[in-house]
Structure formats: structure tokens, C-alpha cells
Chain A
Amino acid sequence: MTTFPHHLLSIDDLGSDGIGEVLRVTDSFVEVGHRANPKVPALRGRTVATLFFEDSTRTRVSFETAAKRLSADVLSFAAGSSSVKKGESLRDTVETIEAMGIDAIIIRHPSSGAPARVARWVTSSSVINAGDGWHEHPTQALLDLYTVRQALGGGDEGVHRFKSLQVIIVGDIRHSRVARSQISAYAALGAEVTLVAPPTLLPPSLDGWPVVAVSHDIDKELPSADVVSLLRLQSERGSGEFVPSLREYTAGFGLTARRAAMLKPETLILHPGPMVRGVEIASEVADLPAAHITGQVSNGVAVRMALLFLMLGQGQAESSADA
């Protein structure tokens, strides 16, 4: 068993071995999820805190459900209801929470790098990045990988099949923490990532990024793609500053029914949500069997259980996922 990182701030903290391990352990927890009582005692006596400075019901509930199914205690802090509103600094908030005896802080913050700052301030807690600014959202990328691996047949053979897999990531990569994590994660497993976006929605520099190509023409990329990963276009990006309008974006980069027909039958369509039907994906495409959008959500709890188990449950003989 590899040494698992103390903090998860970015996908690079895991590397390909760490990613492989999360995916492998997730299998056990998917199985746990199918039981009548989907709960294991792996993290009994442990406490995790969710600290969300941005609204995100899906990710927060997914993490909290994962922790509870591992029998951990969960403290939930939302920026709106805590003393953060009274002007308390992030550092004071974190130090106060840690003083309550916390084993892990799961943080979402609108500022890139906020989890990295928190990791510097804590004394012993693990810090898990649940999305920071435009930087990373590692658990979303792990969940995508798990979903793809499942579709490719699961097991270690599934991981092997990421090699040379043609992945295209379409949309607002510039402002997307999901894209930054996905690119690192797919590349770590040997997939070949192509970015598809208008130049205004690409990062100013791709120096050192593990991508094989950048394209401004989605129609050229679709026929050879094995995975099409769509990103949400926030409506303010389509208000004229980055693209002239949502309508023009959809015409150029939306996965319409016409474009979906260009895909190979086995191509997977992923969307991290929340999905804007009619903009980056046509409604009828989102409902195709190839679109693994709901699957992504249900796997999210299992992936996060695996992660919490690997980060907090190591060394506890009774806390095996197979118990």
C-alpha cells in the first residue's frame, strides 16, 4: 500500500498510484452503498468538518454523506451562518475549528489556493480541497475517472485502458477548477487530453500542461473522442466579455444532437454539473445512455468515502472497508 498524502490540495498530490488506489478502494464502497445498511465503522470516533465558503449543496452533502457512512462525526460550517460573517478571518476560523478536535477539514473557497493556506495553518488536521477558485476540484476529477473506469469495464484492467484514451474537455477551461483537476488526473493515467474552447476561454498560458492538443473546432475532435467532458458555461461568461452570447457559444461549442451523432457509439459523455441544458449540452443529448451524468453523482459518495478512508483510516485494523 502506498503512503497516502496527509492533505489533498491538488490531483498532483496523489500521482497515478494514489489515483489508482482511490479507484480500487471506491469499488468496495460502491458495494457498501448497495447494502441495506450502507454504513461501516471505519472512521468511528473521527471527526471531519466541512467548511464551505461557497454555496454547493451537492459537493457538501456528498462529503458529509460519505463521512457519515464511515461512522465519522461531521461538523458543518457554512460561511453564511458562522462567525465568518462577523469578520472573523479564515485563519481564526480554521484555528477555532481545529481546536474542537478535528481530524479533517474539507474546504471549499472562492479563492484559489485557500486550502493550501489552510494546510499551512493547521497543526495536525488533514485538509481536503473541495474546490478552490479556478484552481482545482480533485474529488470531482476522481469521480469522473471512476465513472469512466466503470464504463470501460472496471477493475485494474479499466485503469490500464486509460492509456491512450482520447479525452476532449470542452468549454470554459480558463475559469474551471474542474478542468485543471481533470487534465492532471487523466494525464496521470496516460490518457491523451485535448482542450476544445474559443481562445478567450483558455488559460492565458498552457506552459507545462499535460495536454496533447488545443482546438477551436469541436466538430473536428468529436469523431475520434473516447470521452467528451463538458464544462459548465457560467452565464456571465457569455455576456459579451469572453464570448459574445450564450447562443453563439452553443452554436460553436455546444454538444447538440447533430454533434452527438458524430460520436462513436461507445463514446462517453460526462458533465460535472450543474448542467445548463440548451447551452453546453442539448437536453436530448444529456438524456442519452452515453451520458454518464447521474452515474457521476451516485459514485461521488463512494469516491469520497474511499478518499476519507485512505486519508484518515490508515493503520486501524478494524477499519477495513471489507469488514
Chain B
Amino acid sequence: MPEPRGAEPTLVIRGGTVIDATGERRVDVAVVDGVVQATGEGLAVPPGATVLDAGGCVVAPGLVDLHVHLREPGHEEAETIETGTRAAALGGFTAVVAMPNTNPPLDSADAVRNVLDLAHAATAQVAVAGAITVGREGNHLAPMAELAALGVHLFTDDGAGVQSAGLMRRALEYARGLGVTLAQHCEDGTLACDGAMHEGAWSSRLGIPGMPALAEEVMVARDIALSRATGARIHFLHLSTAASIDLVRQAKAAGLAVTAEAAPHHFSLTDACAVDYDPVFKVNPPLRPQSDVDAVKAGLADGTIDAIATDHAPHAPEFKDLPFDLAPPGMLGLQTALALAITELGLPLSQVLALMSWQPAAIAGLDPESGGGQGGPIAPGSPANLCVIDPTATWTVDPMALASRSRNTPYAGRTLTGRVRHTVFRGEPVVVDGEATR
């Protein structure tokens, strides 16, 4: 970690309240050369330095999203690393974990290196999740050690669960040897079949093939058993049902090395949204009934769920202009996640920030303890990855105003509380007054 410089700061964030894992204080933050130089009350602003006004705002470590689909390479019509990280910066994120279901998938060193190269000039750090199996096909282990050597810390076949319990066991054992974490998209294919929404009252009425909550729950239960047997860490992606969350609660109480995330749409929308057959509400895992939404909120509140992750999944408009069952699942999330958490959860902001910054940073291996520069306390010498949040500002979601290449937000027209005013990535103000600077 670089020592604070003697040089004058080039950026001062003035008038805000800092909240990080160590607590809350009314201080300004001075930045130079990508690093926090000083924190303190009424810091002097040298001539020529940029001032970011944080009056009435909270200054926090940059948010970290464990789960985004940047679509590049392979589906650049839906999103690119440039547009996806711009959306991330506007949402307050300074790091995102890119899922491996690109084309080609991120199951080889070349594919991972390519994404890291493409992300070189991005406005947020792009960490790559590698595939667990070759081609995400669930048959052969991907070269996990080779990928780990490139800095890959999370491995997942996201979009699909590893169906074979035997292969998942081997993957966990191998991952434990490498010190990396497997992240599971829990969905048992024999129960999910070709379900396009949550199986229940709404799917029955609408005549849409349903995907039962069980499809998620049996794999969560299986993987907890596998984690217990192997001693390997496992992270559960986008948990969406009450029973899944209960299983994780019990596993944590038993001291197992399990972590979990939940997506904003699973605490803010229900399966009733499918009533007009609009595939903008199609997502996987599917939107669930209110009882599951309540369970997700409770899991976030009591610490069973460690992180809010967006599962940002852009799709070009023509793919959502389809009948419900034919459209691909997925919705935008980067620019609405923080505001949804503030608006919907009723938690103190410090707890929302734990769920969106330092806890996910640790799961992704991007925190200072793992040698990364994300989610750490705001103190002299720490990398200047910061976001400035106006927690009381209200705004209305306009799909056309989002930075993503795609428009598939389910929140069009919804008024939310909490807005990102500025984002600083490696000392550079990449968002100022709610506008991307590049």
C-alpha cells in the first residue's frame, strides 16, 4: 500500500459524512495520485484542486457488485465493458465481478486475459469470475489454477448450476486447494425444466410454465452438504426463496464457510409483475411471491445474506420484444441497486453500505486484507475508490437515460430515494453531480 504523499491533494471531497466499516465521522477527504492523502475537518483546498461538494451526502467506499453480465465479448449489442462500467460508476460501483457466460465463455486463460485487457481503461475495476467447467457445460473442470494465477478468485457457471453433485464435490475440493471460492447458481434442471417464471398462483393462472422454488432449494441444500463434507467455501448467487435463505441461516449457525447474495429485484418485485406477460419482468431466478420477498429482506437485515448483487443482465430490445417464454431472462440493475436498497429495505445506511461495499469486496477477494483496493476504510494511504451518496434525493427511473446499451429495466417510471452524486475511481472523478465524466 503506497504511503501518503507529501504532495498537495488534487481532489478534495468536502462537506460530507464518511461512513465505512470503521464507523461514521464528519470529515473531508483529500486525494492525490489515486490514493486518499488525508481525512479531516475543513481540509484546505490547494489552488487548482478539484472540489466535489458532498454537502448533505455520505462519502463511502466505492460499491462492489459481485454479479454483473458485461456481455463483452460476444454480445456487444447488449452491453460492452465500457458501457457496463459507465453504468456501474453511475450506480456508485468502483468494482464489478464480470460473469463468465460471454462468448467465448471465460473458461481459459486467454479468454480471461482478453477481458482484463478490454477493461484496462474502464471506469470501474473489472474482476473476472471464471467458469467452473469447460464451456459452462458441467462436464469437465475448467483450468482453475491457470485462471487463479491471473487473479481470478470467484468461479461459477452462472446461468446454470453445476448439475452433477459428484463434479461439484470435486470442484469444491480442488478450489479449496487453490484458496478460491466457488459461486453457485442454484437451479436443479430436472425441477426447473423449461420454467419461465416462479411456479405458483400466477404461473398457473397465466399458463406460463413454472419454475418451482424447490429447483433452487434442493441445490442449496445439496451444496451446503458438499461444503460441510469438503470444508470448501461456497458462495450462493442470487438467493430468492425463503427456504433457501433458511438453509443458509442454519449453515452459518453451524459454522460452515458459506456466503450469500441477493439481487435488488428479489426484494422489490413479485411474480405478480408477469400479469401483462412483459418479459422485462422475466429473470432467473424468477420473481417470487411476497412471502419470499419478505424473507430476502429479513435475510439481508439479519446478516444471513452478506451482499446485494445486481445480476445486471442487459438484453437488446429485440430480445425483450418477444412472448414471455421466448425472451431471455435478465434485467438491468447497476444504476438502480443502491436506490432500491435505500428505498425498500428500511435499514440504516451503514448496513446497506456493508451489504454493497465491504462485505462483497471481501467475498470477491478485492478487499485490503486480500491485497485489493476495494471496500476498505477511508483513511490516508488507502486507494481512492469512493462514492458520494445523497441518501434523501429522489429521482424517477427513465430507461432511456440509463448508460447501459440496453433498456431492460423493470423500474421504468418508478420514483426512488437515494442517488449517487459522485464516484471516484482510483482517484479519478468518473461521476460528478450524477453525470459520467467519460
Contacts and interface: CB of A to CB of B under 8 A. Distances in A.
Nearest to B203: A204
A52 to B, nearest CB: 15
Given A90-B322, A204-B199, A208-B205, A113 B277 contact: yes
A116 interface: yes
A136 B210 contact: no
A117 B318 contact: no
A90 B279 CA distance: 14
Interface in A114-145: 114, 116-117, 120-121, 132-136
Given A117-B323, A133-B325, A112 B206 contact: yes
Interface string B171-185: 000000000000000
A50 to B, nearest CB: 18
Nearest to A206: B204
A133 B208 contact: yes
A134 B207 contact: yes
Interface string B189-232: 00000000001110111111110100000000000000000000
A135 B325 contact: no
A135 B200 contact: no
Contacts of A111: 323-326
Interface string A194-215: 0000000001111111000000
Which among A112, A135, A208 has the greatest number of chain B C-beta atoms within 10 A? A112
Nearest to B199: A204
Interface residues of B, number: 22
Contact of B324 (A89, A113, A120, A204): A113
Nearest to B324: A113
B185 to A, nearest CB: 23
Contacts of B110: none
Nearest to A202: B204
Interface in B294-339: 318, 321-326
Contacts of B323: 90, 109, 111-114, 117
Interface string B153-174: 0000000000000000000000
A208 to B, nearest CB: 6
B276 interface: yes
Contacts of B205: 180, 207-209
A90 B319 CA distance: 11
B277 to A, nearest CB: 3
Interface in B365-398: none
A207 B208 contact: no
Nearest to B201: A207
Contacts of A112: 206-208, 277, 323-325
A60 interface: no
A207 B277 contact: no
A204 B200 contact: yes
Given A112-B324, A113-B324, A204 B207 contact: no
B207 A207 contact: no
A15 to B, nearest CB: 17
B212 A204 contact: yes
B204 A89 contact: no
Contacts of B206: 112-113, 135
B318 to A, nearest CB: 6
Contacts of B199: 204-205
A117 B320 CA distance: 11
Nearest to B318: A89
Contacts of B318: 89
Given A133-B325, A204-B212, A117 B200 contact: no
Contact of B207 (A120, A121, A135): A135
A135 B275 CA distance: 12
A304 interface: no
Nearest to A111: B323
A177 interface: yes
A163 interface: no
A115 to B, nearest CB: 9
A91 interface: yes
The 5 closest A-B pairs by CB, nearest first: A113-B277, A135-B207, A111-B323, A134-B207, A203-B204
27 contacts: A89-B322, A91-B321, A91-B322, A112-B206, A112-B208, A112-B323, A112-B325, A113-B207, A113-B323, A113-B324, A116-B277, A117-B323, A121-B321, A133-B208, A134-B209, A135-B207, A136-B207, A180-B205, A180-B207, A204-B203, A204-B204, A205-B201, A205-B203, A205-B204, A207-B205, A209-B204, A209-B205
